[in-house]
Amino acid sequence: MRAFYHPLQATHDPLHFMRHGRVVPAKDSPARIEALLGGLERLGITPDAPAGDLPDARLAVHTTGYLDFLATAWDRWQTLPDHGPEVWPNTFPYWSGRPEELARPDCPAESVVARTGWYLGDLSASLGPRSWESIRESSNTAVAAADAVAGGAGLAYALCRPSGHHARSDRASGFCFVNNTAVAAQRLRGSFNRVAILDVDAHHGDGTQQIFYARRDVLTISIHADPLNYYPFFTGYTGETGYGAGEGFNLNLPLAHGSTGEVMAAALDTAAHCIQQFGADALVVALGFDAHARDPIGVLKLEAVDFGDIGARVRALGLPTLVVQEGGYAVDVLADCLTAFVEG
Amino acid sequence: MRAFYHPLQATHDPLHFMRHGRVVPAKDSPARIEALLGGLERLGITPDAPAGDLPDARLAVHTTGYLDFLATAWDRWQTLPDHGPEVWPNTFPYWSGRPEELARPDCPAESVVARTGWYLGDLSASLGPRSWESIRESSNTAVAAADAVAGGAGLAYALCRPSGHHARSDRASGFCFVNNTAVAAQRLRGSFNRVAILDVDAHHGDGTQQIFYARRDVLTISIHADPLNYYPFFTGYTGETGYGAGEGFNLNLPLAHGSTGEVMAAALDTAAHCIQQFGADALVVALGFDAHARDPIGVLKLEAVDFGDIGARVRALGLPTLVVQEGGYAVDVLADCLTAFVEG
**Residues on chain A touching B97 (C-beta within 8 angstroms):** 95, 101-104
- The region that residue A265 occupies, defined by phi over 0 for left and psi between -120 and 50 for alpha, beta otherwise, is alpha
pLDDT surpassing 70 at residue B108: yes
Residue A338: predicted pLDDT: 95
**Nearest CB neighbour to B109, from listed A100, A126, A228:** A228
- Name the active-site residue from B6, B12, B62, B166: B166
**Beta-bridge mates of residue B122:** A91
pLDDT band (50, 70, 90) for residue B98 = low
User: Chain centroid to CA A71: how far?
Assistant: 19
Residue A329 and residue B188: Cα distance in Å, rounded? 55
Residues A61-98 as b or e (16 or more Cβ within 10 Å = b): bbbeebbebbeebbebbeebeebbebbbbbbbbbbbee
Cis status of the peptide bond prior to B7, with omega within 30 of 0: no
* Mean pLDDT, residues A268-276: 98
Identify the weakest region by mean pLDDT among A199-203, A243-247, B156-160.
A243-247
The helix (H) or strand (E) run that includes residue B261 is: helix B261-278
**Residues on chain B touching A247 (C-beta within 8 angstroms):** none
Tell me the count of A-B CB pairs closer than 8 A.
189
Q: Which long-range contacts (CB under 8 A, 24 or more apart) does B329-332 make?
A: B329/B27, B329/B28, B329/B32, B329/B290, B329/B295, B329/B296, B329/B297, B329/B298, B330/B289, B330/B290, B330/B292, B330/B294, B330/B295, B330/B296, B330/B298, B331/B29, B331/B31, B331/B32, B331/B35, B332/B35, B332/B294
pLDDT surpassing 80 at residue A217: yes
Cβ–Cβ contact B213 with A under 8 A: yes
Distance from CA of A110 to the nearest CA of B (A): 5
Q: Which of residues 29-48 of B touch A (CB under 8 A)?
A: none
Mean pLDDT of chain B: 96
Q: Which long-range contacts (CB under 8 A, 24 or more apart) does B275-281 make?
A: B275/B196, B275/B198, B275/B219, B275/B221, B275/B317, B275/B319, B276/B317, B278/B194, B278/B196, B278/B219, B278/B249, B279/B194, B280/B194, B280/B195, B280/B196, B280/B219, B280/B317, B280/B319, B281/B192, B281/B193, B281/B194, B281/B195, B281/B319, B281/B320
Residue A93: predicted pLDDT: 92
Cβ–Cβ contact B296 with A under 8 A: no
Q: Which of residues 241-260 of A touch B (CB under 8 A)?
A: 243
Cis status of the peptide bond prior to B81, with omega within 30 of 0: no
Residue B205 and residue A66: Cα distance in Å, rounded? 27
pLDDT surpassing 70 at residue B101: no
Choose from B19, B20, B24 for mutation: most chain A CBs within 10 A.
B20
pLDDT surpassing 70 at residue A287: yes
Predicted TM-score (pTM) of the model is 0.96
pLDDT band (50, 70, 90) for residue B88 = very high
Cβ neighbours around A228 below 10 Å, total? 16
Distance from CA of B275 to the nearest CA of A (A): 25
* Mean pLDDT, residues B246-263: 97
CA nearest B80 in A: which residue?
Answer: A20
Distance from CA of A94 to the nearest CA of B (A): 7
Residue A70 and residue A6: Cα distance in Å, rounded? 19
Distance from CA of B326 to the nearest CA of A (A): 19
Q: Which of B216, B224, B207, B320 is nearest to B267 (CA)?
A: B224
Q: Which of residues 90-109 of B touch A (CB under 8 A)?
A: 90-104, 107-109
Identify the weakest region by mean pLDDT among A213-217, A304-308, B103-107.
B103-107
Per-residue model confidence as pLDDT tens digits over A142-176? 999 999 999 999 999 999 999 999 999 999 999 99
pLDDT band (50, 70, 90) for residue A44 = very high
DSSP single-letter state for residue B246: G
* Mean pLDDT, residues B79-103: 83
pLDDT band (50, 70, 90) for residue B97 = low
Per-residue model confidence as pLDDT tens digits over A52-80? 999 999 999 999 999 999 999 999 999 99
pLDDT surpassing 80 at residue A103: no
Residue A9 and residue A41: Cα distance in Å, rounded? 18
pLDDT band (50, 70, 90) for residue A106 = confident
Of A197 and B98, the one with more pLDDT: A197
pLDDT band (50, 70, 90) for residue A120 = very high
Residue B335: predicted pLDDT: 94
Cβ–Cβ contact B209 with A under 8 A: no
Please answer yes or no on whether B233 and A114 come within 8 Å at the CB atom.
yes
Residue B96: predicted pLDDT: 67
Distance from CA of A236 to the nearest CA of B (A): 10
CA nearest B173 in A: which residue?
Answer: A91
pLDDT surpassing 60 at residue A201: yes
Residue B99: predicted pLDDT: 56
Active site residue A166: yes
**Nearest CB neighbour to B121, from listed A92, A102, A123:** A92
pLDDT surpassing 70 at residue A102: no
Please answer yes or no on whether B85 and A109 come within 8 Å at the CB atom.
no
Helices (H) and strands (E) in chain B, counts: 10, 9
Residue A99: predicted pLDDT: 56
Of A244 and A178, the one with more pLDDT: A178
Cβ neighbours around A166 below 10 Å, total? 32
Sign of CA dihedral A13, A17, A23, A26: negative
Whether A73 and A172 have beta carbons less than 8 Å apart is answered as no
The phi and psi torsions of A100 (rounded to 5 degrees) equal -70, -15
Q: How many domains does chain B have?
A: 1
**Nearest CB neighbour to A20, from listed B82, B233, B237:** B82
Residue B106: predicted pLDDT: 86
The residue range of the domain holding B157 is 2-343
Q: Which of A182, A158, A190, A199 is nearest to A2 (CA)?
A: A158
Cβ–Cβ contact A111 with B under 8 A: yes
Q: Where are the beta strands (DSSP E) in B83-206?
A: 155-158, 195-199
User: Residue B53: what residue type?
Assistant: D
Whether A146 and A195 have beta carbons less than 8 Å apart is answered as no
pLDDT band (50, 70, 90) for residue A275 = very high
**Residues on chain B touching A108 (C-beta within 8 angstroms):** 227-228, 233-234, 237
**Beta-bridge mates of residue B302:** B292
Which ipTM value was assigned to this complex? Answer: 0.95
* Mean pLDDT, residues B107-136: 97
- Name the active-site residue from A62, A166, A224, A292: A166
Q: Which of A132, A131, A37 is nearest to A331 (CA)?
A: A37
Residue B298 and residue B257: Cα distance in Å, rounded? 9
Whether A135 and A12 have beta carbons less than 8 Å apart is answered as yes
What CATH number does the domain containing A317 carry? 3.40.800.20
Residue A100: predicted pLDDT: 54
**Nearest CB neighbour to B111, from listed A111, A206, A228:** A228
Residue A219: predicted pLDDT: 98
State the Cα torsion A165-A166-A169-A173 to the nearest 10°.
Answer: -140
Q: Where are the beta strands (DSSP E) in chain B?
A: 2-4, 16-19, 22-25, 155-158, 195-199, 218-225, 250-255, 282-287, 321-325
Please answer yes or no on whether A228 and B99 come within 8 Å at the CB atom.
no
CA nearest B230 in A: which residue?
Answer: A111
With H, G, I as helix, E, B as strand and everything else as coil, classify residue B95.
coil
CA nearest A235 in B: which residue?
Answer: B108
Residue A97: predicted pLDDT: 62
Q: What is the CA radius of gyration of chain A?
A: 19
Cβ–Cβ contact A117 with B under 8 A: yes
Please answer yes or no on whether B90 and A232 come within 8 Å at the CB atom.
no
Residues 6+ apart with CB under 8 A from B326: B160, B163, B164, B165, B181, B199, B201, B205, B286, B287, B288
